Amino acid sequence: MKSTPPDLRDQPAYGPTETARYLRLPAATLRTWVLGRVYPRGDAQATFDPLIKPARKQPLQLSFYNLIEAHVLRALRTEHGVALAELRKAITYAEREFKIRRLLLSPDLRTDAGQIFLDRYVELINLSASGQMAMRKLFSEHLKRVEWDRWQYPVRLHPYTDAVRAHEPTSIVIDPNIAFGRPIVERAGISTEAIADRIDAGETVDALAEDYDLSPEDIEQAVLYARAA
């Protein structure tokens, strides 16, 4: 009897710094979500447990699924950051109510489960009405960038590429089955890193656009995304 091959989407694929760069997140924030953190409490120390279980701890490696989970959490950041303890309570509550094992991967976040989860979270952190409106809008925009398959698992992510034009359509996608899960220009299937390397080697935007049958804007977007700090 043949064994079922491991799901590529759940396998170690990305380092933490790489993941943070792809998602436009501070690396320290991502590490806190994945590893937790120790903080002072009186004369002692307390620990925030992680929100994301990494695909591998030693050395730390994240999977495509972890990438999606971090992308969803990214939507909940306020100027004060995610309230870890309260967020964990809200996730646990919604998972229990809807019998969902990994809420942050579920397409049900777009419907009742997401509503219950957000309701619980904003109640716990006592967020203002305007703060709630902004958070719910951002949460919805983040979920639109995830594609799920017919079995209700994430298969593709359209990452944010430009903070100024955050909600505009993007040609950049992350697909675990293409280019080892590295960001690509969707229509050409070529990695953004490969395009940036060719520009660094002296080739022009117009020449690459013709070579890959892309627009100059696609090439420029790929370079800016690949080389963003």
Region 51-68 average pLDDT: 96
Residue 2: is its pLDDT beyond 70?
no
- State the average pLDDT over residues 91-104: 95
**Per residue in 155-181, pLDDT tens?**
999 999 875 456 666 789 999 999 999
CATH for 158-229, among 3.30.160.70, 1.10.1370.30, 1.10.10.10, 3.40.50.720? 1.10.10.10
For residues 38 and 58, the model is more confident at 58
Least confident window among 44-53, 113-122, 139-148: 44-53
31: Cβ contacts below 8 Å, ≥ 6 apart: 16
**Helix H or strand E segment including 172:** strand 172-173
138 exposure class (CB count in 10 Å sphere: 0-12, 13-18, 19+): middle
**Residue 118: pLDDT above 60?**
yes
Which of 95, 92, 84 shows the shortest CA–CA distance to 47?
A: 84
Task: Give the bridge partners for 37, in sequence order.
Answer: 48
Say if residues 192 and 222 touch (Cβ distance below 8 Å): yes
Model confidence at 41, pLDDT cuts 50, 70, 90, reads confident
What value does the mean pLDDT of the chain take? 90
Q: What are the sequence ranges of the domains in the chain?
A: 158-229
Cβ within 8 Å of residue 142, ≥6 positions away: 71, 72, 74, 75
The pTM of this model reads: 0.90
pLDDT score for 70:
97
Cis peptide before 16 (omega within 30 of 0): no
Q: Which residue has the higher pLDDT, 83 or 87?
A: 87
Average pLDDT over residues 31-36: 92
Residue 145 DSSP label = T
Closest CA to 77 of 128, 160, 134, 119: 134
CA 39/CA 21 separation, integer angstroms: 26
